[in-house]
Amino acid sequence: MSSNALHVPVMLHRCLDLLAPALAEPGAVVVDCTLGLGGHSEALLRTFPAARLIALDRDTAALKLSAERLAPYGDRATLVHAVYDELPDVLDRLGVPRVQGVLFDLGVSSMQLDEADRGFAYAQDAPLDMRMDQSTGISAAEVLNTYPPGELVRVLRTYGEEKFARKIVEVVVRERDQEPFRNSARLVELIRNALPQAAKRTGGNPAKRTFQALRIEVNGELKSVERAIPGAVSRLAVGGRIAVLAYHSLEDRLVKRVFAAGAANTAPPGLPVVPERYQPRLSLLTRGAELPTEAEVAENRRAAPARLRGAQRIREEAP
């Protein structure tokens, strides 16, 4: 299966525009923290011929496909099996103290959604796995079958923003006592039956929020994002730029918080002159979160929920 056939990179041209001023110089290093099927990475290598790419992914299948796609670029591309919050460690191992560009494309890759046996998509029956790295961690089925009811309610409310979390969990617990959950179709049907009629008339598939919550829990996504964005900012050279694509409000809120903190003056009120250590470290490159165009959403429906934020490093950390 060709990775090119599978993957339409989201908001590609806008991401390239945001990063471009930092990547024109020879020797610039750009990190794609979410390699996936390599669409953004290939465009970065093609658009910035003087730049070197370091790309991370936790999914070994994605790394294999992307290695084939990026092979023509030879040693300009370094692919690493790692979760994106491990970026500082990866850079230390590679002997790269600072980078000029960082890109995050958070969420689920096209390959993971399109391969039925991964269990990410609620539209087709599949084993309830949802692990981005299938060599480690617990599956979505294990979460459903083993978590105490109160913990399941927390997961659905916190990560899925599911108003009917308690009602869904009551049915899950009753059903799992009869037979453990293994496949997605049974869970989708159970959720459909558990929700009030009014709730099923709006907002797309009623299982969407539960599947999002399980995926985030299984992969520790929000915890990783919480560590990853500050970690990436800390390794940006002055003048370096970061662009982050998020796909739901929980991720986007975390990104917004880190960027806003970095762009803030932290001096106590009333100082006549603001010392260097209180000056902002970041300059925001986007006004709020930018959205995909209608034309892009028409071409690639998976772009619809995307929210893009960018920032530039304008000074070093104060000692």
Q: Is the pLDDT of residue 318 over 70?
A: no
Q: Are 129 and 115 in contact (CB under 8 A)?
A: no
Q: How many CA atoms lie within 13 A of 43 on its CB side?
A: 20
Using the 3D structure, point to which of 219, 243, 258 is the last residue of a domain.
219
Q: How confident is the model at residue 208 (pLDDT cuts 50, 70, 90)?
A: confident
Last residue of a domain, one of 188, 219, 250: 219
Lowest-confidence segment of 4-13, 245-254, 265-274, 301-310 by average pLDDT: 4-13
- What's at 146, amino acid-wise? T
Q: Please report, in range form, the residues annotated as the binding site.
A: 38-40, 57, 84, 105, 112
Cα of 38 vs its chain's centroid, Å: 14
Band (126; pLDDT cuts 50, 70, 90): confident
Residues 210 and 231 in one domain: no
pLDDT at 7: 56
Residue 318 lies in a domain: no
**Cβ neighbours around 53 below 10 Å, total:** 26
**Residue 319 within any structural domain of the chain:** no
Residue 280: how many CA atoms within 13 Å on its side-chain side? 15
Question: What is the pTM assigned to this prediction?
Answer: 0.84
What CATH number has the domain bearing residue 199? 1.10.150.170
Q: Which range of residues forms the domain containing residue 201?
A: 118-219
Establish if 11 belongs to a structural domain. yes
Q: What is the distance between the alpha carbons of residues 157 and 250, in angstroms, rounded to a whole number? A: 12
- pLDDT-based confidence at residue 16 (cuts at 50, 70, 90): very high
The pLDDT of residue 272 is above 90: no
Which residues are annotated as part of the binding site for S-adenosyl-L-methionine?
Answer: 38-40, 57, 84, 105, 112
Q: Is 224 left (phi over 0), alpha (psi -120 to 50) or beta?
A: alpha
